[in-house]
Amino acid sequence: MSASSGVVSQSNRRLAVFGLGGTISMTANDSGGVVPALSAGQLVAAVPGLAETGICLEVEDFRRVPGSCLGFDDLAALSDAIDQRLDQGVDGIVITQGTDTIEETAYLLDLVHDRPQPVVVTGAMRNPTLAGADGPANLLAAVRTAASAQARDLGVVVVFADEIHAASRVRKAHSTSGFTFQSANGGPLGYVVEGRPRLLNHPVDRTTVPIIGTQRRTVEIGLMTTVFGDTGWWLDGAADRLDGLVVAGFGAGHVPDRVADALAAVASRIPVVLSSRTGAGSVLSSTYAYVGSESDLLSRGLISAGFLDPFKARILLRHLLAGGHDRAVVEAAFMRAGGHVDQ
Ligand code: ASP
């Protein structure tokens, strides 16, 4: 313990930092707008107080793109690179990337991370050219968290604005606020206080799903949001074009009665997951009984997403199908990841 700061020494820790781009790395180009430009090394060098932690950082410039341009191939490569670094004995991983897709990338990484070491994703809402840029503070908090024994066995977490969020719950909930990351179901796992992660709760029902063999299949998963007056036009030919479908239904998992038959027909051919478009709470199972209600749709073969929001449900379904898993595994995984396994 350092007598002056009161912060636990982490100088024996070694972390790998992967830079993927995003606002945290952006500077202005000729047009006056910002684009990814800074290397991961430059990001780390610009953080006040980081060198003083004594934590050894092995920095890798992995990608330099906006969050919206990342794809499944990038994430598969990143997951392999993380495994390699963990095999080499690093104590934790930090990833910097665009905030637009963190809720999806962090969850995908969480589904394959079955080791105890912390994997922490962060970024910035205010780019380095702006007063009050939040990248340095977020990166320092992420490093502090990834180097902490407290953050072991949490899976992948998102550290942002001194909050620690489970990858399975976190959503980008505001287009510009520095406090954009929120976990509507259950709140953050904890906070970074005076440089130390302080955990108030732990993730339950963490789900990891291995890829069968080494093969990653290319699959296409649709995500459709049910809207007022919906005719279900989007279901036409869906089972021929898609490997799986996630429906973001009204409320606790509802669609108009006129859409229910077509949806059930698609569900008889490909996995169809029923989620809620509300942004928080669980799909129900046995409360409403009208045509197009949750109980009707589940009895006709749709799979409940439980507490998983539509974006995370799509990531889970894609990962399961790309990994070659059958219907029984898909159902069991959603039951667990959706928080519906009776304890
Ligand atoms: N548009 C940016 C991105 O996702 C937003 C950010 O990083 O905050 O790359």
pLDDT one digit per residue (tens) for the chain, 343 residues: 333 334 456 879 999 999 999 999 999 999 999 999 999 999 999 999 999 999 999 999 999 999 999 999 999 999 999 999 999 999 999 999 999 999 999 999 999 999 999 999 999 999 999 999 999 999 999 999 999 999 999 999 999 999 999 999 999 999 999 999 999 999 999 999 999 999 999 988 799 998 766 666 789 999 999 999 999 999 999 999 999 999 999 999 999 999 999 999 999 999 999 999 999 999 999 999 999 999 999 999 999 999 999 999 999 999 999 999 999 999 999 999 999 987 6
Q: Which two tokens stand for residue 147?
A: 């180097």
Whose alpha carbon is nearest atom 7 of ligand 1?
98
Reduced DSSP (H G I as helix, E B as strand, rest coil) percent helix, strand, coil of the chain, to 5: 30, 20, 45
Taking phi first (over 0 means left), then psi (-120 to 50 degrees means alpha), and beta for anything else, what does residue 94 get? Answer: beta
User: Looking up tokens 């379904």, which residue turns up?
Assistant: 317
* Residues present in the chain in total: 343
What interhelical angle do 72-87 and 102-112 show, nearest 10?
Answer: 50
Closest ligand 1 atom number to CA of residue 101 = 4
Q: Please give the Cα distance from 316 to 136 (Å, whole number).
A: 31
Give the 3-state secondary structure of residue 182.
Answer: strand
Q: Please give the Cα distance from 139 to 145 (Å, whole number).
A: 10
Closest ligand 1 atom number to CA of residue 36 = 9
Evaluate: CB of 134 within 6 angstroms of ligand 1. no
Task: Supply the pLDDT for residue 333.
Answer: 97
Task: Look up residue 250 and give its DSSP letter.
Answer: B
Greatest Cα-to-Cα distance within the chain, rounded to the nearest angstrom: 69
Identify the active-site residue in 23, 53, 96, 122.
23
Q: Please give the Cα distance from 271 to 269 (Å, whole number).
A: 7
Task: Supply the pLDDT for residue 215.
Answer: 62
Task: Supply the pLDDT for residue 211.
Answer: 76
Evaluate: CB of 284 within 6 angstroms of ligand 1. no
Whose alpha carbon is nearest atom 4 of ligand 1?
98
Cα-Cα-Cα-Cα torsion 165, 78, 37, 29, nearest 10 degrees, comes to -90
- E strands along the chain, which residues? 14-21, 26-28, 34-36, 56-65, 92-96, 119-122, 156-160, 163-166, 171-172, 181-182, 190-193, 196-199, 221-225, 244-249, 272-276, 303-304
297 Cα: distance to centroid of ligand 1 (angstroms): 37
Task: Supply the pLDDT for residue 213.
Answer: 61
User: Looking up tokens 């392999």, which residue turns up?
Assistant: 80
160, 115 in Cβ contact below 8 A? no
Nearest 5°: phi and psi at 314? -65, -40
Q: Please give the Cα distance from 297 to 197 (Å, whole number).
A: 42
58, 40 in Cβ contact below 8 A? no
- Please indicate whether residue 27 is annotated as part of the active site: no
Closest ligand 1 atom number to CA of residue 65 = 9
Closest ligand 1 atom number to CA of residue 24 = 7
Pairing of strands 181-182, 171-172: antiparallel
Beta bridge partners, 15, equal 57, 92
Task: Supply the pLDDT for residue 254.
Answer: 98
Long-range contacts of 282-285 (CB under 8 A, 24+ apart): 282/185, 282/252, 282/306, 282/307, 282/338, 282/339, 282/340, 283/249, 283/252, 283/253, 283/338, 284/252, 284/253, 285/340
Task: Supply the pLDDT for residue 293.
Answer: 98
Pairing of strands 34-36, 26-28: antiparallel
Pocket test for ligand 1, best of 43, 68, 176, 181 (most atoms within 8 A of CB): 68
